[in-house]
Structure 1
């Protein structure tokens, strides 16, 4: 049987192609449960060996099993071996390597390390980076023509607040972002790689108006793909979908190329939950994540290009009588997340920094409870290690005091648990340790993946995941004038099959 699939604006005809989309059933729940802190690097936590020792001890004491550590903030790395320069943060001097040190100490304690990268932030200060090799100097706002990778807003602005963003529609910028991730996967023994800011920027003129992505190289590619010559408005449907595909393409490439390097590495993303959400799947395309920042994370889960989705369901848990009650939004999004895992995993991310301890515990219990359809998330992640509750965030007490109280509440005490809200066992949430969930699609794979590279001036990539093993003919037609390409490939379960295509007329 023949099937037609659109990849990166190309028409790809794949013989014997069978779409492997799972029904909306959550994986079996057992003693495994993903439990983690997000550890940001805009403050203490990863700067010294002593801080890392304390981080590992605190995570272990809370019966958590993973650390999601922000190693890439704005085009630099809290590491010594990547395609990015070493961070300007006040870390201990070289040869200290924060990521390597964390991996060694966390693994010795039985904890996983997931490297968190801000994917699209090039730089975030009015003061340029000190390192001349930083991408800001080579492809930032001072670069001309095609060498400038900075995203522009429709009104011509090249930054939001003081943040410069990569334009995801510029092919060289997209390649650079992919290589940021692969350089860490290749050189460090990480358990996971974590996307943040994998979307178009905020700082838009209004709700659901995605005004970024107007780098001239990106607009020219859109023209080439559509045959148009006008500058599209931000809400133009074709322009929105084209930009959405640029985001998805980067996620897909990182997923497949990470699998080819180290199949066991868990690929995750911190995804957006702006606004309200119904548990009705048909309403997904009307949500702010989909429309405003052009992030189709439900589609990523359905396609299978994430192992772990971590929606940032950041809400205050207020009483129903409060004027700005955010509890319904939290519960609606949690239900939607649990019901849309497909053949992968999702965990719920909550905002520890916005809530008192008792409210965070209530949100965590909700995160670990089944949805109305009976589906469960595979765990929970809290933001953040540095601000574990509202009092700390408001600088009314020290982080150490907040973490100690949170740890006690999670592992020993039900003093703060509002257990009447959810039908849950009357015991601490993390009374005993748990392992992280296995990934059966990687541990015992029944499908393979295709990594196709088409040799054009843009080096176009045509990737497919979760293909049933067998022989396939891959045929690509751009236009009759430009040319076609084809190849026969054999897909093998558990492997990434590379195929390089050359255009011919």
Structure 2
């Protein structure tokens, strides 16, 4: 967050406290008064579970607790939806929200290098609204940014400045930012991807993140799709990275004149390094703006864990999508890894994999932080509670549920039934709050930010 925004926030908070104190002195309002406070239900806000008032003391336990709040479902499309999210987060004992604001090289905001999203109502800034309401309730806000999903729609974005219109199918050479598969494919369904091996893509994404951190009082940025695409011929090979720019750079840096196969070790290592370079660029840019902000990344955990396969380099994240999140932790270019540990608890194999990836994340932590991100949409309430208990017992630094909208399999299978989604979320809230989240917790501090030993 910028110093100016911090000052404004502190000033507004102090003024609010003075006003509240004056009201108490004047009216004698106390615990039994009818004056409204945070989390109180209004005519436009019906929390799934009524939240207690904002804690007046800082929790002694440090443990990340949050939701991924996507931009495909109810959550950020109006101030009332944001109020609902904030109330539900408070009710479950969350201390952070990871809110999707940059989805397809656009932004659910007004003031960023990315063009404003076509899916936002005129005159409304979702990110600003989330920051204002969440901070007032004591919640951190982390801007969820899709790094390489360029565009996915049957119609082009309306902004002439969107990179799909300027660097998509109409462009050529280095100006064509599209990732390409070895068979020539540049689009899967309606989805196109940006190539992280194109230096212009790295610069653009870095500038986009920087602009969000500069212009909004966010507490951090959460990078998603920070990897090569899926849709390859095998689970342990990646077929992408065959754009003209990518192949030319690989040839120039290695001296090779052939077109490498997807399974080529040198080419795989080189492509993996391109993703790492993007992470490093974003981390450095964020540190330039505000070294106190947190960079988190969404880490793939597909397939068996490294314990079963014989090591990290044999896993699907490392080989299948060329994402070296273990290396990012070791280098110190991320603050938090959030494992997308989406496993069905009813399957013995998937339950084993869930535990393996939690253990691996703890092993690879390297002095930073790792958060378990269970797939709530794959499980019922009891199964998600069981996963939360085992994850936290493994030693991870917290829990981030995917997703806020679909907190159970029944919610995910409802076809967008908002009433059912809310009732399922309330059931999960009650179960977590009565057990594993019974006590409030604070977002874990980042001591390396103060010491600057790494990063």
What TM-score comes out, normalization by structure 2 length? Answer: 0.84
For 1:340, the equivalent position in structure 2 comes to 364
Alignment of 1:400-439 (within 5 A): 400-412=422-434, 428-439=435-446
Give the Å deviation of 1:318.
1.1
Hey, what does 1:150 align to over in structure 2? 178
Residue 207 of structure 1 deviates from its aligned partner by 1.7
Paired position in structure 1 for 2:88: 58
What is the CA-CA distance between 1:122 and the residue it aligns to?
0.7
Aligned to 1:210: 238
> Higher mean Cα deviation, 192-201 or 402-411?
402-411
Superposition deviation, residue 369 in structure 1: 0.2
Q: 1:326 aligned to 2:350?
A: yes
Judge which range, 207-216 or 195-204, deviates more.
Answer: 207-216
Say which SS state the counterpart of residue 130 (structure 2) adopts: helix
Alignment of 1:13-162 (within 5 A): 31-89=61-119, 91-94=120-123, 96-162=124-190
- Specify whether residues 237 and 30 from structure 1 end up closer, same or farther in structure 2 by C-alpha distance, changes over 3 A only: farther
Rate the CA distance shift 1:30–1:368 in 2: closer, same or farther, 3 A: farther
Deviations 1:431-455 (A, max 9, x none): 122110000001x3153xxxxxxxx
SS of residue paired to 1:122 = strand
Q: Could you say which residue in structure 1 is the equivalent of 2:222?
A: 194
Unaligned runs of 5+ in 2: 1-58
Structure 1 residue runs of 4+, over 6 Å off? Answer: none
Q: Is the 8 A contact 1:78 1:97 kept in 2?
A: yes
Aligned partner of residue 346 in structure 1, secondary structure:
strand
Q: Is the deviation greater in 389-398 or in 401-410?
A: 389-398
Within the alignment, does 1:168 sit opposite 2:196 as a pair?
A: yes
CA displacement at 1:389 relative to structure 2: 0.4
State the match for 1:360 in structure 2.
Answer: 384
Cα distance in 1 for partners of 2:402, 2:452 equals: 35
Given that residues 160 and 202 in structure 1 are in contact (C-alpha distance below 8 angstroms), is that contact kept between their aligned partners in structure 2?
A: no
> Does structure 2 conserve the Cα–Cα contact (< 8 Å) formed by 1:36 and 1:66?
yes
Corresponding pairs, count: 394
1:395 aligns with 2:401: no
Once the two structures are TM-superposed, the CA of residue 411 in structure 1 deviates from its matched residue by 1.1
- SS of 1:194's equivalent in the other structure is strand
What is the Cα deviation at residue 30 of structure 1? 6.6
Give the one of 445, 454, 457 matched to 2:451: 445
CA drift at 1:295: 0.3
Mapped to 1, the partners of 2:129 and 2:452 lie a distance apart of: 36
Shift of 1:161: 2.6
Could you tell me whether the CA contact under 8 Å between 1:279 and 1:335 is conserved in 2?
A: no
CA distance in 2, matches of 1:446, 1:118: 27
Retained in 1: the 8 A contact 2:60–2:442? Answer: no
> Given that residues 61 and 440 in structure 2 are in contact (C-alpha distance below 8 angstroms), is that contact kept between their aligned partners in structure 1?
no
Contact 2:202 2:281 in 1 (8 A): no
User: For the residues of structure 1 that align with 2:374 and 2:246, how far apart are their CA atoms?
Assistant: 35
Q: What is the TM-score when the length of structure 1 is the normalising length?
A: 0.76
Structure 1 residue runs of 5 or longer lacking an equivalent are: 1-28, 371-375, 413-427, 448-464, 467-505
- 2:341 aligned counterpart, secondary structure: coil
More helix by share: 2
Q: Which structure: greater strand fraction? A: 1
**Is residue 309–residue 315 contact of structure 2 (8 Å, CA) maintained in 1?**
no
